[in-house]
């Protein structure tokens, strides 16, 4: 049984991860070092003190303004921290984490890193319409490592071969293959690029972590969400015809939903068709 204490513990870690996601999203596309200089106000460059660096609360405490120059600090920063906290809490609940058990710690930390990575990729895609190769590549590599060695670390037993790795490799190939096919068909039918190469790598990354079945669930949810937002956007005039919009955030949402509710969704789908 997962306790509230455990969930709150992971939510605090998630808020700190959310804080780092903000740094990555702001700095990576500009090619600024992620570690140096420490957090500072973008307007007046003054460094943030200890209390201002506390996720969400620091922003609320300062009323959303820099203490030195009074420049407004965007509400997106505390929101991302709150989302990070919520997602880590959900992962801890999903993994039925137990407090301070090493195996459970590794499990939640690994899946938490995936979720934080998806959050960063979504925000960068929204900002720049790109999914940086550094992040998707790190996600693929991390996923392959976790699927190979994770079960041993978590259960302490080396089962006959790493089955998770094969499942992850099938997922990787499915992600790359499907998006190649979509790209090919899109070019043939629409005469233009239908999907970015970054989307294929993101799908491959989700395939590694979730396996090929989990990837299908993630893609299904992602395409449905994208279609709904596209239709609503066109109907309300927020989107123009032919206007490209980033697909990464939808894929990422599909991936997170697949991670949290994938087995339930697959089970109810199978009940539906049999």
Give me the least distance between CB of 37 and Zn ion, in Å please: 14
CB of 145 within 8 A of CB of 205?
no
Phi and psi angles of residue 47, each rounded to the nearest 5 degrees, phi first: -70, 150
Nearest to 88 by CA among 20, 189, 176, 173: 20
CA atoms within 13 A on the CB side of 84: 28
Say whether residue 141 binds Zn ion (CB under 5 A): no
Give me the least distance between CB of 28 and Zn ion, in Å please: 22
CA angle in degrees (0–180, nearest 5) for 7-13-14: 80
Is residue 118 classed exposed, middle or buried when 0-12, 13-18 and 19+ CB atoms within 10 A define those classes? buried
For Zn ion, the closer of residues 48 and 131 by Cβ is 48
Give me the least distance between CB of 44 and Zn ion, in Å please: 3
CA atoms within 13 A on the CB side of 136: 25
For Zn ion, the closer of residues 67 and 94 by Cβ is 67
For Zn ion, the closer of residues 41 and 154 by Cβ is 41
Instruction: Identify the bridge partners of residue 47 per DSSP, sorted by sequence position.
Output: 40
CA distances from 272 to 254, 268, 269 (A): 21, 6, 5
Separation between Cα atoms, residue 29 and residue 31, nearest integer Å: 6
Say whether residue 68 binds Zn ion (CB under 5 A): yes
Give me the least distance between CB of 66 and Zn ion, in Å please: 3
For Zn ion, the closer of residues 69 and 228 by Cβ is 69
Q: What mask, x for binding Zn ion by CB under 5 A, covers residues 24 to 43?
A: -----------------x-x
Nearest to 113 by CA among 133, 82, 91, 129: 91
For Zn ion, the closer of residues 43 and 228 by Cβ is 43
For Zn ion, the closer of residues 66 and 119 by Cβ is 66
Contact range with Zn ion by CB under 5 A, out of 18-26, 59-67, 87-95, 122-130:
59-67
Separation between Cα atoms, residue 171 and residue 189, nearest integer Å: 26
For Zn ion, the closer of residues 43 and 57 by Cβ is 43
Segment 92-121, which members bind Zn ion (CB under 5 A)? none
> Binding residue for Zn ion (CB under 5 A) from 69, 152, 159, 234?
69
Separation between Cα atoms, residue 67 and residue 236, nearest integer Å: 39
> Binding residue for Zn ion (CB under 5 A) from 44, 60, 141, 267?
44
For Zn ion, the closer of residues 48 and 115 by Cβ is 48
> Binding residue for Zn ion (CB under 5 A) from 11, 25, 66, 174?
66
Phi and psi angles of residue 40, each rounded to the nearest 5 degrees, phi first: -145, 165
Backbone angle region of 63, left / alpha / beta, with phi > 0 → left and psi within -120 to 50 → alpha: left
Residue 100, preceding bond cis, omega within 30 degrees?
A: no
Say whether residue 227 binds Zn ion (CB under 5 A): no
Give me the least distance between CB of 46 and Zn ion, in Å please: 5
Give me the least distance between CB of 81 and Zn ion, in Å please: 19
Give me the least distance between CB of 69 and Zn ion, in Å please: 3
Give me the least distance between CB of 73 and Zn ion, in Å please: 8
Instruction: Note the residues at the interface with Zn ion (CB under 5 A).
Output: 41, 43-44, 66, 68-69, 71
């Amino acid at each position: 049984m997962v306790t509230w204490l455990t969930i709150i513990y992971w939510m605090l870690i998630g808020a700190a991860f959310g804080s780092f996601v903000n740094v990555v999203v702001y700095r990576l596309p500009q090619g600024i070092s992620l570690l140096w200089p420490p957090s500072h106000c973008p307007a007046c460059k003054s460094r943030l003190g200890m209390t201002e660096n506390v996720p969400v609360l620091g922003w609320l405490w300062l009323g959303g303004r820099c203490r030195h120059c009074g420049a407004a600090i965007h509400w997106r920063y505390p929101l991302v921290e709150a989302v990070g906290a919520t997602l880590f809490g959900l992962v801890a609940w999903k993994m039925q984490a137990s407090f301070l058990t090493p195996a459970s710690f590794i499990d939640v930390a690994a899946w938490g890193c995936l979720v934080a990575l998806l959050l960063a990729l979504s925000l960068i895609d929204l900002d720049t319409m790109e999914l940086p190769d550094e992040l998707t590549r790190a996600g693929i590599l991390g996923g392959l490592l976790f699927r190979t060695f994770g079960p041993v670390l978590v259960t302490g037993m080396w089962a006959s071969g790493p089955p998770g790795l094969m499942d992850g490799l099938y997922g990787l190939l499915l992600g790359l293959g499907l998006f190649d096919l979509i790209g090919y068909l899109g070019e043939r039918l629409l005469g233009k690029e239908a999907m970015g190469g970054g989307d294929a790598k993101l799908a491959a990354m989700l395939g590694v972590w979730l396996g090929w079945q989990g990837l299908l669930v993630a893609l299904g949810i992602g395409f449905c969400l994208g279609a709904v937002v596209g239709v609503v956007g066109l109907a309300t005039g927020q989107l123009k015809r032919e206007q490209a919009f980033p697909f990464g955030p939808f894929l990422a949402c599909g991936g997170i939903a697949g991670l949290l509710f994938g087995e339930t969704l697959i089970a109810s789908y199978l009940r539906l068709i049999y």
